[in-house]
Amino acid sequence: MSAQAEAPAGVGGPDAESGAQARRLTDVVFRVRELGIVGALALLIAVTAIMEPRFLNADSLRNLALNASIFAILAAGQTLVLITRNVDLSVSSVLALSAFMAGTLLSNHPSLPIPVVILLGMGLGAAAGALNGWLVTFGKVPALVVTLGTLYALRGLAFLWTDGRQVNAETLPDRFLNIGTGSILGVPTLAVIALVVVLIVGQYLRDFRSGRELYAIGSSPEAARLAGVRTDRRVWSAFVMAGALAGLGGVLFTARFGTVDATAGTGYEFTVIAAAVVGGVTINGGVGTVYGAAIGAVLLGTITSSLIVLKVDAFWQQAAIGTLLIAAIAFDRWIGLRLDAALRQRSARRAG
């Protein structure tokens, strides 16, 4: 490594120089974590477009955006929880409950204002998240166990509540369905909503004390406690926020598909976690951004679409996503090792 040689000689003395080097190094590495996945996405789109030019027409791109939107919102919520070294498996069941509630409410009371429905959906999700968070922090039960439990329990609740019924698009008001199908300035409304959500959560995690504290908890729970961070309250709030976003996802699910029954969103939980992990959010907490997670959601959605376009067998699609997941984790680990080695050498040189 010749980082020494890259630094402009004679600028700011040795202190500023080594500082600038370290900064550049870490900057690049952190950018690389998200750059890598953006590159993979570009490559995937390019290859698919070469083999099937129609992949890039407006309609197909629109579909890509629509598919990824709900996953991006769920992945943003999941990121909040993963960063604290926890996990929320129950999101898909929360989504189903919220989706069915939104559909039922609007079928029975078509005049209900949509913001009210959205708030109710998010409230339902927040309540489920509060239960998860309470069991994890107050009950001291590992999040994996708690949310695996609520994943099944809430799905069961959805079956009980729907009792075999389903909500149909015909019974829903058009202004609601427009959220799922309409556009704002040519961009699908759903994608606009997802973008806004990701930006808000991203800014929260970057620039607000309570957001930074989530990283602190995931990086070292003990150190966070000693730094005066109210870890239980923060972890609980992460679950509440993730639940609320799953609730929002449920309402949007109804708006997009129109048809909702008790099986809505089955299996989404793993896609969402996969999206976050592919996007550079580590399962061990403390590392990752919602932007990465959102791009991860787009990448997973694009893979599925491009494999369909390329007429690849559905079984291979699953295998491809699995391979990508492992590749992402291996890449992340590799970057981490390289970073450790680089930082180590830097420390050694500085000490010398």
By beta-carbon proximity to other proteins, the closer residue of 1 and 187 is 1
DSSP character string of 273-306: HHHHHHTT--TTSS---HHHHHHHHHHHHHHHHH
Distance of closest approach, residue 14 Cβ to other proteins, in angstroms: 8
Q: Three-state SS across 26-42?
A: HHHHHHHHHHHHHHHHH
Q: Are 88 and 260 in contact (CB under 8 A)?
A: no
DSSP run (H or E) holding 188? strand 187-188
> Which of 158, 214 has the CB closer to other proteins?
214
C-beta of residue 299 within 8 angstroms of C-beta of residue 35: no
Tokens (6 digits) for 126: 């927040």
Contacts of residue 110, defined as CB under 8 A and 6 or more positions apart, other chains included, come to: 172, 173
**CB 346, min distance to other proteins, A:** 8
Q: Which is nearer to other proteins, 123 or 221 (CB)?
A: 221
Type of residue found at 127 = A
CB of 350 to other proteins, least distance (A): 6
The structure tokens listed for 331 are: 């890449």
Which among 60, 61, 80, 105 has a CA at the least distance from the CA of 250?
A: 105
CB closer to other proteins, 192 vs 342: 342
Q: Find the Cα–Cα–Cα–Cα dihedral 294, 273, 41, 50, rounded to 10°.
A: -120
Whichever of 14 and 113 has its CB closer to other proteins, that residue is 14
| DSSP 3-state of 85 | coil
Least CB distance to other proteins at residue 348 (A): 5
Integer CA distances (angstroms), 258 to 103, 269, 304, in order: 8, 21, 22
Whole-number minimum distance, CB 287 to other proteins, in Å? 5
Cβ proximity to other proteins, 8 vs 164, nearer residue: 8
Minimum separation from the CB atom of position 335 to other proteins (A): 12
CB of 236 to other proteins, least distance (A): 16
Of 16 and 330, the one with the shorter C-beta distance to other proteins is 16
Minimum CB distance to other proteins smaller for 152 or for 334: 334
Spatial CB neighbours of 246, under 8 Å, sequence gap ≥ 6: 74, 77, 88, 90, 91, 92, 94, 95, 98, 125, 128, 129
Residue 299 CB, nearest distance to other proteins (Å)?
23
Residues that bind other proteins in the complex, under the rule CB under 8 A:
1, 14-15, 18-19, 22-23, 26, 207-209, 212-213, 215-216, 218-220, 222-230, 286-287, 339-340, 343-352
